Every structure is written in structure tokens, then in C-alpha cells.
Amino acid sequence: MTLAVLPAESDAFPKAARAVTESLSNAKVSGIDDREMSKVSLEVVQLSIECVEPTVVCYEAVGKSLSVTRLLFAAIEPASKKQLKVTVTLFDVDARYPHSAQRTFANEKEASSGINDLVAEITR
């Protein structure tokens, strides 16, 4: 099985995006034979294949375009003025199954220090 790790992006929360990307790139996922760190985010891959919705169909298309069996990615969204919501997803391309968890953090500093727990929750 091959895992593609896609970097997180966020103009509003750049420090959190760097911390999330680092955590994703260091995540241990059982059953993975090969790991690829993508140079581009999920959004960029989706734009390139013209399937930009956050759906199983689009995630499956992303996995197939990258020739992988698993995708590991995160989405960072504003939850309020300073709060941010981080959603981490491990997507099984063959089974078309997303396993996701999300957490709201008070600020970027809290997100940066707490992201490893959220990633571990998805990858164990």
C-alpha cells in the first residue's frame, strides 16, 4: 500500500499549516509499504483533475491520479476570530472510505502544540 501525504495550506493560519504538514509527514500509518510526500496540497491536485468538492468521489479521483491507495491530508478553517478548526483525514482509495477527526483550537499556538494528538487519533 502506498500513502500520499498532502501538505496543509492556510493563508489565515500559516504557522498552524506548517505544524500540521510536519505532523502529517511524520505520522506512522500501519500497513503502508511506501510513502510519498506531495509537493502540492489537496486543493492543487483537485484543481488539476477538475474535481474540487470535498467528496468521496473527488478524493478517490485524487488517489487514482497520484497512483496511491491511501491519502493523508488536513483542512484548516477559521472557527471564529482567532479560533481554527483542523480536520485530519486518512482516506482509503480502494474502499472509498474517509476516516476523519476534527478539533477546534483557540489559536495557532494551541493548534501547533496539539496537532500531533489529532493526527495520531486518525493514524493509529
SS3 state of residue 50: coil
Q: What is the pLDDT of residue 124?
A: 84
Q: What is the pLDDT of residue 121?
A: 93
Instruction: Give the rounded percent of residues in the chain with a pLDDT score beyond 70.
Output: 100
User: What are the backbone dihedrals phi and psi of residue 52, each rounded to the nearest 5 degrees, phi first?
Assistant: -105, 0
Provide the β-strand partners of residue 71. Answer: 4, 91
Q: Which of 86, 96, 94 is nearest to 122 (CA)?
A: 86
Note the CATH architecture for domain 2-123. Answer: 3-Layer(aba) Sandwich (3.40)
Residue 92 clears pLDDT 90, i.e. is over it:
yes
Q: What is the pLDDT of residue 87?
A: 97
Q: Which residue type occupies 1?
A: M
Mean per-residue pLDDT, 79-108 = 95
Contact 13, 111 (CB under 8 A): yes
Q: What is the pLDDT of residue 81?
A: 82
Residue 72 clears pLDDT 90, i.e. is over it:
yes
* CB proximity list for 51: less than 8 A, separation 6 or greater: 57, 58, 61, 62
- In the predicted model, what is the mean pLDDT of the chain? 95
Q: What is the pLDDT of residue 80?
A: 87
pTM: 0.94
User: What are the backbone dihedrals phi and psi of residue 4, each rounded to the nearest 5 degrees, phi first?
Assistant: -105, 125
Q: Which of 16, 34, 42, 4 is nearest to 106 (CA)?
A: 16
